[in-house]
Structure 1
Amino acid sequence: MRVLILAAVAASFFFGSAFAQRRAGPAFNDEFHWLNEFNKASTVMVVEQGIVSRELGSRIADGVAKVIADGAKPGAKRPGDYLAYEPLLLAYAGPDATRMHSGRSRQDIIPTNRRVMLRERTLALMQAMVAARQKLLETAGQHTKTIVPGYTNGVQAQPTTYGHYLLGFASAYSRHGERLRQAYARLNQNPLGVAVYGTSSFPVNRVRLAELLGFDGNVENGYDAAQLSIMDVPVEIDSVAAFAALTTASMTADAHTQYHQTSPWLLIREGAETHGSSIMPQKRNPTVLNNLRLSSSLVVGDAQGTVIVAHNVPPGMPDYKRDHSHGALEGAITMFGHLQRYFENLAVNVPVALAEVNKEYSTTTELADVLQREADIPFRIGHHFASELVTFGRKAGVGPGGISYRDAKQVWAEAAKKYGAPPVFPLTEKRFRESLSAEGMLAASRGLGGPQPAEVARMLESEKQKLAADVEWLQAQRGKLEQAQANLDKAFASLAAPGAGK
Structure 2
Amino acid sequence: MKINKRVLPTLPFRLAMIPLLMLAAGLAQAADKKEPHDNFYFLGEMNKASTVMVIDTKVVPPELGKKIVAAVDQVIVNGNKPGAERPADYLKYEPLILAIAGPDGSRMHSGRSRQDILSTTRRLMQRERVLNLLDEMNKSKAEFLKLAEDNIDTIVPAYTNGVQAQPITYAHYLLGFTSVFDRDATRFKEAYARLNMSPLGSGALGTSSFPIDRKQLAALLGFDGVVENSYDAAQLGALDTGIELTGISSSAALTIGLLVQDIHTQYHQPYPWIMITEGKLTGTSSIMPQKRNPYGLNLLRLQASDVVGGAMTYQLEAHNVTPGMPDYKRDQVEKTLDQTAMSFTMLADLLSNLQIDKARALEEVDADYSTTTELADMLQRDSDVPFRVGHHFASDLVTYGRLNKMKPADIPFSEVQRIYGEALKAFNFEHAQFPLTQAQFRTSLTAQNMIASSKGLGGPQRPEVERMLAAEKASLIDDQNWVKTQQQKLTKASADLDAAFHKAGQ
| TM class by smaller structure | over 0.9
Q: Distance in 2 between matches of 1:20 and 1:196?
A: 38
> CA shift at 1:369, angstroms?
0.4
- Return the offset for 1:16: 10
CA distance in 1, matches of 2:7, 2:341: 14
SS in 2 for 1:156: strand
Aligned length: 484
**Which residue of 2 is the match for residue 338 of structure 1?**
346
More displaced, 480-489 or 413-422?
413-422
Aligned counterpart in structure 1 of residue 502 of structure 2, from 476, 493, 496: 493
Whole-Å separation in 2 of the counterparts to 1:195 and 1:287: 50
Is it true that 1:457 corresponds to 2:466 in the alignment? yes
Where in structure 2 are the equivalents of 1:167-316 lying within 5 Å?
167-316=175-324
Tell me by how many angstroms 1:249 deviates: 0.2
In 2, the alpha carbon distance for the partners of 1:62 and 1:70 equals 12
2:273–2:356 Cα contact (<8 Å) kept: yes
The structural deviation recorded for 1:125 is: 0.3
Secondary structure of 2:369's match?
A: coil
Q: Distance in 2 between matches of 1:423 and 1:86?
A: 92
Task: Name the SS for the 2:480 alignment partner.
Answer: helix
Structure 1 residue 20: Cα displacement: 7.5
Per-residue deviation, 1:496: 2.6
Aligned mate of 1:156, from 152, 155, 164: 164
Report if aligned partners of 1:16, 1:301 keep a CA contact under 8 Å in 2.
no
Give yes or no for contact 2:50–2:109 (8 Å, CA) kept in 1.
Answer: yes
What is residue 141 of structure 1 aligned with on the other side? 149
Q: Give 4+ residue runs of structure 1 displaced > 6 Å after superposition.
A: 20-23
Tell me, which stretches of 5 or more residues in structure 1 are unaligned? Answer: 1-14, 498-502
User: SS where residue 10 of structure 2 aligns?
Assistant: helix
| Aligned 8 A contact 1:265 1:352 in 2 | yes
Whether contact under 8 Å (2:389, 2:427) holds in the other structure is yes
2:374 pairs with 1:366: yes
- Between the aligned partners of 1:416 and 1:43, the Cα distance in structure 2 is 87
Asked if structure 2 preserves the Cα contact closer than 8 Å seen for 1:115 and 1:187, the reply is: yes
1:328 aligns with 2:336: yes
Shift of 1:241: 1.0
Partner of 1:436: 445
For 1:76-91, what aligned pairs fall within 5 Å after superposition? Answer: 76-91=84-99
Write the distance in 2 (CA, Å) between the matches of 1:320 and 1:269.
43
Q: Shift of the alpha carbon at 1:224?
A: 0.4
Contact 1:16 1:298 in 2 (8 A): no
SS at match of 1:176: helix
- 1:60-99 matches, cutoff 5 A: 60-99=68-107
Aligned pairs for 1:9-88 within 5 A:
18-19=9-10, 24=27, 25=30, 26=33, 27-88=35-96
Which residue of structure 2 lines up, in the alignment, with residue 479 of structure 1? 488
Distance in 2, Cα, partners of 1:486 & 1:313: 39
SS at match of 1:377: coil
In structure 2, the CA distance between the partners of 1:138 and 1:16, relative to structure 1 (3 Å rule), is closer
CA contact (8 A) 2:7 2:338 kept: no
CA deviation vs aligned residue, 1:22-64 (integer Å, no higher than 9, x gap)? 9944411110110010000000000111111111111000000
- The 8 Å contact of residues 222 and 494 in structure 2, kept in 1 or not, is answered as yes
Residue 17 of structure 1: how far off its partner (Å): 8.1
Identical aligned pairs, as a percentage? 52
Report the AA paired with residue 443 of structure 2: E
What SS does the aligned partner of 1:267 have? strand
Cα shift at 1:295: 0.5
Structure 2 unaligned blocks of 5 or more: 1-5, 15-25
Distance 1:43 1:20, change over 3 A: farther
* Aligned mates of 1:333, 1:326 — CA distance in 2: 11
Q: Distance in 1 between matches of 2:490 and 2:280?
A: 37
Distance 1:341 1:290 in 2: 13
Q: Counterparts of 1:75 and 1:416 in 2: how far apart (Å)?
A: 84
Q: Give me the whole-angstrom Cα distance separating, in 2, the residues matched to 1:54 and 1:132.
A: 51
Shift of 1:398: 0.2
The SS at the match of 1:190 is: coil
2:55/2:504 contact within 8 Å kept? no
Counterpart code for 2:256: T
Instruction: State the match for 1:12 in structure 2.
Output: none
Q: Tell me, yes or no, if the aligned pair for 2:452 and 2:461 is still in contact at 8 Å.
A: yes
| Cα displacement (A) at 1:337 | 1.2
Cα shift at 1:151 = 0.4
By how many angstroms is 1:495 displaced? Answer: 2.1
Contact 1:79 1:85 in 2 (8 A): yes
**Following the alignment from structure 1 to structure 2, what is the Cα–Cα distance between the partners of residues 436 and 126?**
43
Alpha-carbon distance between aligned partners in 1 of 2:330 and 2:491, rounded to the nearest angstrom = 26
Question: Is the contact made by 1:139 and 1:343 (CA closer than 8 Å) also made in structure 2?
Answer: yes
Q: Which residue of the partner structure matches residue 375 of structure 1?
A: 383
Deviation readout 1:307-343 (Å, 9 max, x if unpaired): 1111111001111111121221111111111101111
Q: Which moved more, 1:278-287 or 1:157-166?
A: 278-287
Question: How far is the alpha carbon of 1:290 from its aligned partner?
Answer: 0.8
Structure-2 separation of matches of 1:489 and 1:54? 17
Instruction: Supply the AA of the counterpart residue of 1:189.
Output: M
